[in-house]
Structure 1
Amino acid sequence: MTVTQHPWWKDTTIYQIYPASFKDSNGDGVGDIPGIISQLDYIEDLGVGAIWVSPMYDSPQVDMGYDISDYESVYPPYGTVADMEKLIQDCHSRGIRVLLDLVVNHTSDQHKWFKESRSSKDHPKRDWYIWRPAKYDEQGNRHPPNNWRGNFGGSVWEWDDATQEYYLHLFCTEQPDLNWENAETRAAIYESAMEFWLRKGVDGFRVDTVNMYSKDPEYRDAPVIDVGEKWQFAASLYCNGPRMHEYLSEMNTVLEKYGAMTVGELPHTHDKGHVVRYVSAKAKQLSMTFMFDVVDVGFGADQKFDTTPRRWELPMLKHAIETTQDLIEGTDAWTTSFLENHDQARSISRFGSDKTPEGREKSGKMLSMLVASLSGTLFVYQGQEIGMTNVPESWPIEEYKDVDSNNYYNFVKAKTNADPAALARTKAAIQHLARDHARTPIQWDGSKNGGFSTNKPWMRVNDNYPEVNVRREAQDKNSILSFWKQMLRLRKEQSNTFVHGIFTVLDKENNSTFVFEKKGTNGKAIVALNFTETDQSLALPSDSTLKRLTGNYDDEVSGTLRPFEGRIYLTQ
């Protein structure tokens, strides 16, 4: 019998680290790279095979490091390039690989390239960014080149008084978009943002906004969806542009020299055929992508926060998971499994229950069974493994730091003349879905600031740190952390079924339970999950060889799933 040799990145679990909030080693209130190094025993003990470090490059931190002012240096509060070299070396000595965040759709407006680009219309680097003249109406009033709305609200165009033109920024004003049409710009990106770190031994990249480098060449107006608004949702015009696949093939020739892998962030792309074009092994563009179908469940249709908490039904979640799982069936593509990252609220608060200790523990384990038994490469976000939750509803809006939350709140405030009902609805949506929830410091123990820092942290620690922390979880063999370790072991042992198996939903329309089958080449698993806080009836396929592999209750009640109960069965 031949054993299939898979690339390492298919069978490993990858742990995402958000440097500012992981561990502060020097008491300045900000997490840092020496702090990450100090916790490598903990990371190794989890059973993960790689870490992905969110942007640690030098940056003014307008968008938490996704506004990079120098790809070849480190944000000083996080440490130095030498610290990064030590992190890579120490990880490799433990058999842990290292991925960095590759942010190359835009830079900071403080990057020397942009400073040169905006210095004059004749500068050789003018064309390294996207500049356009103004449009004027009959009255002679100046307007941006089109009506596109940015990802953080407002127009994507910013007027530059000195050179009398607009520059494009799909995100913050301080994040001007690079012009990928310029071959010289692309060569500089590959050298400065990629090869500089690949030569230091980095094993790959998580690629930010990987489908935005090629835009609609004519920069046409977006269709008007929101009639009352000046700026319109325009993803169809700035995602998946005509030269996208050409750019990624070119980028891949650089990666191949080092045997590096990539996982691309692929928003607003739902067609299976199109996703496969990015991740087909033959295409040689990306190793895999993050599709957002699952984590976007419950978002507002046009604006993420234009919603109410838990506005979703379980069949919607099943369908979203099915979309990401179907990607590998009958193709040479690969997929990913994740419920959390630095841009998402905490999964227990969104899909489980954070109202009681029991609900948190049971639903945290249930969600780990879900995500660890899905096909593709599994990504776990810091704090997910100890069952961290969203911040409490009692926190005022002033505690929220993220540009996305604040911009939307201020947008509603201005639009409604600070109407209390509108602001209360917005605050409820932010408390449910904000990126801030993923960014509160890791709760290491029950001491002040959750053991994250000896001084006041850059962001307040979640109030539940005395009960929810690494030390408590590590001492309890029945904790969420212990369960996660068990799930990661089982995933390795049964990789044929869990990592590479074919996924089929067995109770598609059921609004309370989620039962699915995973079929490997040498057996199958049945996963049964109760997404409610009440007992639910369970009918399993009549298969006499069903053997319970694991569950989040000690015993089993035949025909019933208890609140947030999860069970996994194997058939031989």
Structure 2
Amino acid sequence: MTQPWWKDAVVYQIYPRSFKDSNGDGMGDIPGVISKLDYLATLGINVIWLSPVFASPMDDNGYDISDYQDIAPEFGTLADIDRLIAEADARGIKIIMDLVVNHSSDEHPWFVSAKSSKDSPYRDFYIWRQPNADGSLPSDMHSYFGGSMWEFDEVSGEYYFHQFSKKQPDLNWDNPAVHTAVHDMMNWWLDRGVAGFRMDVIDLIGKDVDARIMANGPRLHELIQAMNKATFGPRDALTVGEAWSATPEIAKLYSHPERHELSMVFQFEHITLSFDPVHGKWKPRPFNLVELKAVFNKWQTELAGQGWNSLFWNNHDLPRAVSKYGNDGEYRVRSAKCLATTLHLMQGTPYIYQGEELGMTNVQFPSIEDYQDIETRNLYTERLAAGHSEDEMMAAIYANSRDNARTPMQWDDSAHGGFSTAQPWLGVNPNYPQINAAQNVADEGSIFHHYRKLIALRKAHPVIVDGQFELLLPEHEQIFAYLRQLDGKTLLVASNFSNEAAHAELPEALRLRSGTCLIHNHQAHTGTGEQLSLAPWESFVLSLEELV
């Protein structure tokens, strides 16, 4: 059986409004992406995940779609998308679109019609409920963006359901007409040349509102299998589902090839390790390497041969990796390389978020007014009203606001980091004169070139794609080390996740083994020695020679 093309692929996520502005309006756009395709080809990636560019009122930065078959004017036109697909293809790069089918915008024609009359053919495209007998809300469920999940419609006297913003009404996947409309739209994009989809909050489409089951509803996998059969399944597309609720067992349901659902899912167990059990990400817990290793080990071993992992540290919703997991001060460059090596040598498809390959960091804007993210602003207001201090909330925002990832891409040391000739829609991180693409590309020892080497290694060594994973030193509080093994080939990956030197006794079978260093961020190693010793944030990959 032929190996799916995406198994040795490396995906680069672009958040278009923050990537590159081509027309001087302060907002990134599709022509801006096209202008940087040579940069991405040099990096070596072969897939672009394009965050939403569909027509949208931008209540949630494009995750509220008002027309699935048109482009938001601030990003460009359908002709621009066609040109992007063609120009990327000429460089060996595929495009996957970021698709939201759990909900639409309240300005989508479907919802406009649904709201106009109970007799509208689109009324049942959405979820409506009568008030309770006492006039109260249908239920007390709270939106992920704050407030109730129910919004009253005065015209019909009913409530419509929304898990996110009130401007993002949930689609009713109990209605077969919704399936047909969504499938037709997906095929329209696939016919246009996209190579697949990143499926936003896909684990929510099987919801049972009355039973209060949001994620992993009873019909979820039936719905995805029908979608696969009707759209991307026969086309050898790449599909990745966002599934905050996924466990390894659930991920196998999504991604086992015999089930004909998705290529893989994004699971977030390693991300939520830093979340407070009660207050979530807004009250971060200290980083714990032993816990992190256990989570990665679980996913690497339990999905082996039965599913497929997506590998990522950050995305448009998460803080910058080097600030969250590394050291964004003295050891920024070394720790960014350490994080990259540790992740890219595992089994799965790696995802690079724009600027990650430069070691871009979190930002600390002085005021809440400097932030644009709806989640950040809403939670700030809500938590202050509940008695949390401003200092407490700003500290949480500095650590975990989605705007950390959304500050404009830092291209060079010119005004606004070379992102735009105008004032950007969101402020540029003030460290852009020191951290930018021009500086990275020019320096052969940069983070950018380290990523280039990692991508090349994945394409050159089948053991990285298909090898067995074995965690070493699971209880060591500084060292993350593991083996990858396939057909007699063994790779040792060793990283020090701390600001101090680290030492450990190696298992007997690995001592005094000679080998070839495939990549390092501090010094090349020619063998294992009696003991594993690593400088602060040092990492390396050693291809071990066979024992005679």
Q: TM-score interval w.r.t. the shorter chain?
A: over 0.9
Q: Which residue of 2 aligns with 1:234?
A: none
1:427 aligned counterpart, secondary structure: helix
One-letter amino acid of the counterpart of residue 337, structure 1: L
Quick one: distance in 2 between partners of 1:502 and 1:400?
44
Q: Could you report, residue by residue, the CA deviation over 1:433-480 in whole angstroms, capped at 9, with x for unpaired residues?
A: 111111010000000000000010000000100000000011111111
| Residues 510-529 of structure 1 mapped to structure 2, 5 A cutoff | 510-529=476-495
8 Å contact kept, 2:21–2:420: yes
Distance in 1, matches of 2:99 and 2:295, equals 26
Equivalent position to 2:369, from 395, 398, 408: 398
**What displacement does 1:571 show?**
1.6
Give the secondary-structure state (helix, strand or coil) at the position aligned to 2:376.
Answer: helix
Whole-Å Cα distance in 2 between the matches of residues 273 and 169 of structure 1?
Answer: 28
Match of 1:148 in 2: 141
Q: Secondary structure at the match of 1:167?
A: strand
| Partner secondary structure for residue 211 of structure 1 | helix
Query: After superposition, what is the alpha-carbon deviation per residue over 1:72-91, rounded to whole angstroms, capped at 9, x for unaligned?
Result: 11000100000000000111
Q: Over residues 327-361 of structure 1, what are the superposed CA-to-partner deviations in whole Å (9 max), with x where a residue is unaligned? A: 432x43111111111111100000001123xx110
| Aligned-pair CA distance for 1:543 | 4.9
In 2: Cα distance, 1:108 partner to 1:562 partner: 51
Aligned counterparts of 1:405 and 1:571: Cα–Cα separation in 2: 48
| Cα distance in 2, alignment partners of residues 163 and 42 from structure 1 | 53
Q: Which amino acid aligns with 2:486?
A: G
Distance 1:549 1:124 in 2: 61
Which residue in 1 is equivalent to 2:206?
A: 214
Matching of residue 497 in structure 1 with residue 463 in structure 2: yes
Within a 5 Å distance, the mapping from 1:301-316 to structure 2 comes to 301-308=277-284, 311-316=286-291
1:376: how far off? Answer: 0.7
Other structure's SS at 1:524 match: strand
Equivalent in the alignment of 1:347:
321
CA shift, 1:158, in A, is 0.8
Alpha-carbon distance change, 415 to 217 in structure 1, aligned in 2, over 3 angstroms: closer
Once residues 441 and 522 of structure 1 are traced to their aligned partners in structure 2, the CA distance between those partners, rounded to angstroms, is 45
Matches of 2:479 and 2:372 in 1, distance apart?
36
2: CA distance between counterparts of 1:414 and 1:144?
22
Mapped partners of 2:532, 2:124: distance in 1: 66
Amino acid at match of 2:197: F
The match for 1:326 is 301
Is 1:410 aligned with 2:381? yes
Quote the offset at 1:559 in angstroms. Answer: 4.2
Letter in 2 for 1:538: A
- 1:570 maps to 543
Tell me the alpha carbon deviations over residues 206-265 of structure 1, each in whole angstroms, 9 at most, x when there is no partner.
Answer: 011111111126334xxxxxxxxxxxxxxxx10111111111011001113433221111
Checking the alignment, whether the CA contact within 8 Å between 1:305 and 1:430 is kept in structure 2 is no
Tell me if 1:542 matches 2:516.
no
Question: 1 CA distance for matches of 2:471 and 2:377?
Answer: 39
- How do 1:99-178 residues align onto structure 2 when only pairs under 5 Å count? 99-136=96-133, 140=134, 142-178=135-171
Q: 1:468 and 1:284 mapped to 2: Cα distance?
A: 43
Alpha-carbon contact 2:145-2:379 (below 8 Å) kept:
yes
- Stretch deviating more after TM superposition (19-28 or 546-555): 546-555
8 Å Cα contact 1:327/1:334 also seen in 2:
no
Equivalence map 1:24-35=2 (5 Å): 24-35=21-32
Measure the CA separation in 2 of the matches of 1:90 and 1:182. 38
Counterpart of 1:362?
334
- Residues in 1 aligned to 2:45 and 2:209: alpha-carbon distance in whole angstroms: 42
8 Å Cα contact 1:214-1:239 kept in structure 2: yes
Distance in 1 between residues matched to 2:524 and 2:463, nearest whole Å: 24
C-alpha distance in structure 2 between counterparts of 1:89 and 1:467, whole Å: 34
Choose from 58, 77, 88 the match for 2:85: 88
**Aligned pair in 2 of structure 1 residues 543, 288: CA closer, same or farther (>3 Å)?**
farther
Which SS does the other structure have where 1:349 is aligned?
helix
CA contact (8 A) 2:55 2:70 kept: yes
Letter in 2 for 1:522: G
Match of 1:432 in 2: 399
- Secondary structure of the 1:305 match is coil
SS of residue in 2 equivalent to 1:264: strand
Aligned equivalents of 2:24, 2:422: Cα separation in 1: 5
Of residues 383, 403, 413, the one that matches 1:446 is: 413
Residue deviations 1:466-505, cap 9 Å, x none? 00000001111111111111111112212x2222222222
What is the identity, as a one-letter code, of the residue corresponding to 1:243? Answer: R
Q: Which amino acid aligns with 2:491?
A: A
Residue in structure 2 matched with residue 259 of structure 1 by the alignment: 236
Tell me how far apart the structure 2 counterparts of residues 365 and 255 of structure 1 sit (CA, whole Å).
Answer: 35
- 2:244–2:267 Cα contact (<8 Å) kept: yes
SS at match of 2:423: coil
2:217 partner SS: coil
Identity percentage over the alignment? 40
What is the match of residue 226 of structure 1? none
Give the letter aligned to residue 108 of structure 1.
S
Distance 1:32 1:213 in 2: 29
C-alpha distance in 1 between matches for 2:472 and 2:60: 42
In the superposition, the TM-score normalised over structure 2's length comes to 0.95
CA contact (8 A) 1:146 1:219 kept: no
**Contact 1:507–1:513 (CA<8 Å) still a contact in 2?**
yes
Q: 1:400 Cα deviation (Å)? A: 1.6
Q: Does 1:371 align with 2:343?
A: yes
Are the aligned partners of 2:517 and 2:524 in contact in 1 as well (CA < 8 Å)? no
Structure 2: how far apart are the matches of 1:542 and 1:246? 50
Counterparts of 1:508 and 1:98, CA distance in 2? 38
Query: How many angstroms does 1:186 deviate by?
Result: 1.2
Tell me, which stretches of 5 or more residues in structure 2 are unaligned? Answer: none
SS at match of 2:203: coil
Does 1:561 pair with 2:534?
Answer: yes
Retained in 2: the 8 A contact 1:262–1:288? yes
C-alpha separation in 2, matches of 1:51 and 1:246: 28
CA contact (8 A) 2:203 2:245 kept: no
Counterpart residue number, 1:97? 94
Aligned residues of 2:282 and 2:397 also touching (Cα < 8 A): no
Question: Is 2:49 the partner of 1:52?
Answer: yes
Q: Is the CA contact (8 Å cut-off) linking 1:305 and 1:408 kept in structure 2?
A: no
Q: Which residue of 2 aligns with 1:241?
A: 217
Cα-to-partner distance string for 1:513-560 (whole Å, 9 max, x where unaligned): 111111223311111111111111133331523432221113569742
CA distance in 2, matches of 1:344, 1:327: 25
Q: Which amino acid aligns with 1:110?
A: E
Q: Residue 381 in 1 paired to residue 381 in 2?
A: no
SS at match of 1:515: strand
Q: How far apart are residue 147 of structure 1 and its match?
A: 2.2
Aligned to 1:233: none
